[in-house]
């Protein structure tokens, strides 16, 4: 069998589509090494989906100050603003764990969340099952008194959201999971041993990973907190081989690249490379831009200002540059400790959905075009879908004439439309190469073309 797999991997490199290789891989024979695991094709739903929603929610949503890294900044690096915040507002004996009972979630209505996500046009959602603080949003048997059923919400947040999303939408449900936990004594012990012991991995990380996959069947497993120790320490390749070969989500699950020191941007499922990764160039591997609506934090911040949030124009421009280069966009929101999603997040998500309703054909199931952005006019990015080319235009040109250097008309019958408006547009070939497009006069009171303008080009190469 081993021989066969090695031969097959070799053939796979040579032939790509060889049916024998494909059927073997489908049969689930991935080996626990990167060579083998990296050959798994990503389930197609993920690339087609393009847009997901990321949710950072946990005990850090209680202080909701600075960021979800609050505990670490307060007691790890002792950052002044966090130390002062605690000194000024809490008694000296107050521990981070004392925030947990205040994680009340009394307004959490998972059906309302699911409906909002559906309205946003996102096709997958990723919830923090456990962040670096170690608090689990499900009743983990390995997290005594530090989980959402024993303390705080007294609810299984992961299950409630998974059920609501699945009952009410066709959105794929995913989970974020942090491998490391800042202050877990078992982790600190392994760390002190130079990661030569794996007590934390065998008694906490791995049982919990198997638990969330078996019980909540996530279609996305968004791993994080990997960077202090090697993939060998985390036992990542063994886990991934199980995930791809035997787990209940083996045919649908996608995962990222944060599986051990030095692994990110090199191995795994799709690449995240860094937070808010947006390379502006076509990438050889599928990748994801995980970014935040609050520019400064993933978790909710009570003292965020309006200027800290992306405008709808900024969000859509980020979506356009990401999708043009082959990426997916994972848009993060931070719900509050009482279970509400604040109106600024709600508005942004609803606006995104309104825009996707009009312009979705340029996004969902699209592919990168031969040019990612225009050669003549800055702020114009491209995708292609079903033989049409789509141009995302960030700025309405002065005098309404838009000159594009990259698309070339194949005949006089080639046509241009502005999505959200009815009529075809007048265009003419440019003397150099490219096309000049006369944008229409639009009625701001009634038009569906707003925030970021999308041109549909038919008969252009």
Ligand X SMILES: *[C@@H]1O[C@H](CO)[C@@H](O)[C@H](O)[C@H]1NC(C)=O
Binding residues (CB under 6 A) for ligand X: these are 163, 167, 198, 201-202, 206, 235, 238, 280, 373, 375
Strand order in the sheet with 380-385: 380-385, 388-393, 453-458, 415-418
Angle between helices 110-119 and 157-168 (to 10 degrees): 50
What are the phi and psi torsion angles at 236 (to 5°)? -60, -45
Local structure of residue 367 (DSSP, 8 states): B
CA distance 248 to 245: 9
Q: Which is nearer to ligand X, 282 or 442 (CB)?
A: 282
Q: Give whichever of 243 and 362 is closer to ligand X, judged by the CB atom.
A: 243
CB of 281 to ligand X, least distance (A): 7
Q: What are phi and psi of 191, to 5 degrees?
A: -65, -45
Q: Least CB distance from residue 110 to ligand X, whole Å?
A: 9
Residue 276 has what DSSP assignment? T
Minimum distance between the CB of residue 360 and ligand X, rounded to whole angstroms? 24
Shorter beta-carbon distance to ligand X: residue 8 or 206: 206
Q: Which is nearer to ligand X, 235 or 456 (CB)?
A: 235
User: By Cβ distance, which residue is nearest to ligand X?
Assistant: 238
Q: Which is nearer to ligand X, 351 or 373 (CB)?
A: 373
Q: Choose among 6, 125, 21, 63: nearest CA to 299.
A: 63
Closest distance of CB 359 from ligand X, Å: 21
Closer CB to ligand X, 133 or 374, in the complex: 374
Q: Is 67 or 324 the residue whose CB approaches ligand X more closely?
A: 324
CB of 434 within 8 A of CB of 403? yes
| Rounded-to-integer distance, Cα 332 and Cα 224, Å | 15
Q: For ligand X, give the closer residue by CB, 75 or 278.
A: 278
Query: Is there a contact between 368 and 324 (Cβ–Cβ < 8 Å)?
Result: yes
DSSP code of residue 202: I
Residue 37 or residue 100: which is nearer to ligand X going by CB?
37
CB 279, min distance to ligand X, A: 9
The nearest distance, CB 318 to ligand X, in angstroms, is: 13
Q: In angstroms, what is the minimal distance from the CB of 64 to ligand X?
A: 30
Output the smallest distance, CB 422 to ligand X, in A.
31
| In the complex, minimum distance from the CB of residue 342 to ligand X, in angstroms, rounded to a whole number | 25
Distance CA 68, CA 243 (A): 28
Do the Cβ atoms of 170 and 158 come closer than 8 Å? no
Angle at 244 between CA 240 and CA 248, to 5 degrees: 110
Annotate 101-164 with DSSP letters as a single string. Answer: GG---TT--HHHHHHHHHHTT-SEEEEEEE-TT--BSS--TTSTT-BTTTSTT-S-HHHHHHHH
Q: Is 424 helix (H, G, I), strand (E, B) or coil?
A: strand
């Amino acid at each position: 069998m081993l021989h066969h797999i090695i031969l097959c991997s070799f053939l796979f490199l040579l032939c790509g589509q060889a049916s024998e290789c494909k059927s073997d891989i489908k049969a689930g024979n991935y080996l626990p090494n990167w060579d083998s695991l990296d050959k798994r094709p990503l389930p197609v739903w993920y690339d087609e989906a393009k847009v997901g929603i990321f949710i950072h929610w946990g005990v850090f949503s209680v202080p909701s100050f600075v960021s979800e890294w609050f505990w670490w900044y307060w007691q790890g690096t002792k950052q002044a603003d966090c130390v002062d915040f605690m000194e000024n507002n809490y008694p000296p004996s107050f521990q981070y764990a004392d925030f947990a009972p205040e994680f009340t979630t009394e307004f959490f209505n998972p059906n309302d969340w699911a409906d909002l996500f559906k309205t946003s046009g996102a096709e997958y959602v990723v919830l923090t099952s456990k962040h670096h603080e170690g608090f689990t949003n499900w009743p983990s048997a390995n997290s005594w008194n530090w989980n959402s059923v024993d303390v705080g919400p007294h609810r299984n947040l992961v299950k409630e959201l998974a059920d609501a999303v699945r009952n009410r939408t066709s959105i794929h449900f995913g989970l974020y999971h942090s491998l490391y936990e800042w202050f877990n004594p078992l982790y600190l012990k392994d760390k002190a041993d130079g990661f030569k012991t794996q007590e934390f991995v065998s008694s906490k990380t791995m049982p919990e990973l198997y638990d969330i996959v078996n019980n909540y069947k996530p279609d996305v497993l968004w791993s994080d907190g990997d960077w202090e120790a090697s993939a060998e320490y985390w036992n990542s390749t063994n886990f991934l081989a199980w995930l791809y070969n035997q787990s209940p989500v083996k045919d649908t699950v996608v995962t990222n690249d944060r599986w051990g020191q030095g692994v990110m941007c090199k191995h795994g499922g799709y690449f995240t490379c860094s937070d808010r990764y947006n390379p502006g160039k076509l990438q050889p591997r599928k990748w994801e831009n995980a970014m935040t609506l609050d520019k400064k934090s993933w978790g909710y911040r009570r003292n965020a200002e309006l200027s800290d949030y992306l405008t709808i124009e900024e969000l859509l421009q980020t979506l356009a540059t990401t999708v043009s280069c082959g990426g997916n966009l994972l848009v993060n929101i931070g719900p509050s400790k009482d279970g509400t999603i604040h109106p600024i997040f709600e508005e942004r998500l609803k606006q995104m959905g309104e825009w996707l309703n009009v312009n979705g054909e340029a996004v969902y199931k699209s592919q990168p075009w031969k040019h990612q952005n225009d050669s003549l006019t800055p702020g114009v990015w491209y995708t292609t879908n079903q033989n049409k080319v789509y141009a995302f235009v960030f700025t309405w040109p002065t005098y309404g004439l838009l000159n594009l250097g990259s698309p070339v008309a194949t005949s006089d019958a080639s046509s241009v439309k502005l999505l959200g408006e009815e009529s075809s547009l007048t265009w003419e070939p440019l003397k150099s190469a490219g096309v000049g497009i006369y944008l229409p006069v639009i009625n701001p009171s009634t038009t569906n073309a707003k925030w970021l303008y999308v041109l549909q080009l038919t008969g252009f190469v």
